[in-house]
Amino acid sequence: MKCKVACAIAISFGTLAAAQQQQNAFPQPTAAKEVTVTAIPGVIAAGATWKLVWQGPDNADGIIGTKDGGLLFAQEQPSTVGMLDPNDKFSILVRDTHGTGALAYDNKGRLIGAERTCSDPGGRPAECKEAAELVVLHPTRSVLASKFGDKTFWRMGEVVADSKGGAYFSDDAGTYFVNPAGKVSLVAGKEVRTNGMALSRDEKTLYLTNGRTIVTFAVQPDGTTNNQRDFAMLQGAAGGDGMCIDSEGRLYVTAGETGIQVFSVEGKHLGIIPLPRSASSVAFSGPNKKVLYAKGAGMTTPDGKEYRTPEGVRNNAKAIYKIDMIAQGFTGRPK
């Protein structure tokens, strides 16, 4: 293992939350496995290999690419935004994020965060009284959405920004849209179990995961949505999680142990890119946006063993990988 990865691991060990509440059962992540990538025409070449670029005992969610080809990721438990530069060097971009768990860049280049505050199920969520907000984290902080009607938000999931100053986001009760003036409207209630979301290239279609189903909504000129329909079905038993699109409009959907499932703009299943670990977040970045990054559950310690937490303590360890692609990520938006 290269020193930069090992050093990042050593630093990250010190941030493990000591206050995690003992629970009856938190399953440990499955161990990393060897994978063989098969060709998907126009997407990835056979034999392409993943490179481990970061790992640590704290979460690394909602990954997005940066303009210089690096990567940002939200670390809920230490309440930071981690950053990898184009050479995979790790640093912290933002601190005190109120448990932000998902990220987006808006049309002004501001970094948006979807807060989870103190609602981590491995902590003491029953004692958490801080409502979640959709916020600007960087370069200056402000609140974009704090309520839907008279209801505050709780443990936000995902966020994706459009090119007009609006953003789509989710929490445990639903999926929402906030327009540039701060008005929040409902996209779907909790009957749609949104773990991942993406916008089409022309921003006329919003994709949401809903268990093993991917659903779409028609986006209106003002950013509101209607006309929900089923778009595609994931293969395997895992539900969908983080998503991104490429320059041809293909959709990349993380689906646990199966890896990253790729769909055409018509909803045809094109193939699967297996990941060494259970996949839950994905984004294009790198030179010319032709590198795919993905985050998986678990990590290895510097001695090569799987990182394990004491019984009853949630294991939030994550690993980030990257792989060279034939496909190019969509360049019209950060994600």
Q: Is the pTM of this model over 0.75?
A: yes
pLDDT at 59: 93
Report H helices in 164-294. none
8 A C-beta contact, residue 240 and residue 209: yes
Name the amino acid, one letter, at 60.
Answer: A
Say how far apart CA 119 and CA 332 lie, in whole Å: 34
**Domains in the chain, please, with CATH?**
3-324 (2.120.10.30)
pLDDT at 335: 79
**HEC readout, 91-130:** EEEEECCCCCCEEEECCCCCEEEECCCCCCCCCCHHHCCC
Question: pLDDT tens per residue, the chain (335 residues)?
Answer: 444 444 444 444 444 433 334 445 899 999 999 999 999 999 999 999 999 999 999 999 999 999 999 999 999 999 999 999 999 999 999 999 999 999 999 999 999 999 999 999 999 999 999 999 999 999 999 999 999 999 999 999 999 999 999 999 999 999 999 999 999 999 999 999 999 999 999 999 999 999 999 999 999 999 999 999 999 999 999 999 999 999 999 999 999 999 999 999 999 999 999 999 999 999 999 999 999 999 999 999 999 999 999 999 999 999 999 999 999 999 998 87
pLDDT at 246: 98
pLDDT at 289: 98
Of 306, 184, 297, the closest CA to residue 242 belongs to 297
